[in-house]
Structure 1
């Protein structure tokens, strides 16, 4: 069973699949939605990640726990 778990104390979770940020208590502290047109799911996932990172930067989030469920995107991000 897959379920959402809260990030470590003081961290903020950025969930790209639902594009919602939550604190360590599981409280939603922000979310967004966007229409990206007719793109692949991978491109939409990366665009959501970029938007989430921009929002975190603007809000001066220091400890960000990025969570993605697209295996191909994760593999790309983990390659040198």
Structure 2
């Protein structure tokens, strides 16, 4: 399993949309303790209770997307993410 992050152009609105349109095998989740692959827009989920100024101090931008790849087929994960990104 691996975890990475990227910033999506369009901020939290684009991040929320990406989470909502991303299909299986991706799951929408706030925790990293499972074997399935997850996608999280941190500004509206894990760090939603923080002021924007405080989030930015710790590197969480409005478009900050965290993905954790689980045990699913990597080709399936890539394809599902590509399809979702095309909708943003």
Normalising by structure 1, what TM-score? 0.29
Higher helix share: 2
Q: Which has the higher contact order (CA 8 A, sep 6+)?
A: 2
